[in-house]
Amino acid sequence: MSISEELHAIGRPLLDAQLAHPTVRGIARGDLPEPVFRSWLEQDYLYLLDYVRVFSRLAWQAPDGHLGDLVDLAHSTFHEELSLHRSLSAEFGADLEGAVKGPACTAYTAFLLEAAADYAEGLAALYPCMWGYSTLGRILAENPPAEPRYRAWVDTYAHPDFAALTRRIAVMIDEAAPDPERAKELFTRGMEHELAFWDVP
């Protein structure tokens, strides 16, 4: 079993906890109260700005063969995910420019930026976000919400292109060959941050 496959196995129970979270369940049903999603949207916007910085820090350390992968991931996050947030912000009345990080966002981005000081460990730390959202999107898309704004959110993360980016990270983790126990520790901590992030302020 590869390192990435081991991470999937230990991550599934924590992913199931996300699927059971009231915020995720509300998105899945399409009836999440707007103030909750608005708050999540603002926090995730701030998170993604730092996520781009994490990709950029890893790109500086990447082997030549994966420099383009990390540049692509940074570009996709900045131009596609953040564009989704900007478009949804108008529909939910979110104040992206005036938003301030809450405790969960602050703790998660600090963890990622610190882990990105090491190439292999940084990949393991950031993988919960890519793998988690890709898997959540795929599962939620099996019975998508009728509410069009939440449907757009689900469709973004269920898209095959997002799944392909996630698979590229898995390959990069396996090739970087981090210490397996350290990779599991960082991945688990990342998954715990992912779960805590749904407790929007």
pLDDT digits (tens, 9 = 90+) for 131-161: 999 999 999 999 999 999 999 999 989 999 8
Distance, CA of 39 to CA of 93 (rounded, Å): 10
Distance, CA of 6 to CA of 180 (rounded, Å): 9
Mean pLDDT in residue range 26-47: 96
The more confidently predicted of residues 174 and 80 is 174
* Statement: residue 201 has pLDDT above 80: no
Distance, CA of 37 to CA of 67 (rounded, Å): 34
* Statement: residue 82 has pLDDT above 90: no
* Statement: residue 125 has pLDDT above 80: yes
- The model's pLDDT over 51-81, given as tens digits with 9 standing for 90+, comes to 999 999 999 999 898 898 898 888 888 888 8
Query: pLDDT category, 121, cuts 50, 70, 90?
Result: very high
Distance, CA of 196 to CA of 201 (rounded, Å): 11
- Asked if 119 and 176 touch (Cβ cutoff 8 Å), the reply is yes
Residue type at 107 in one-letter notation: A
pLDDT at 154: 95
Q: Could you tell me the two tokens for 55? A: 């990709």
**Contacts for 82 with CB less than 8 Å, ≥ 6 apart:** 45, 48, 49
Q: Tokens 């063969």 map to which residue?
A: 65
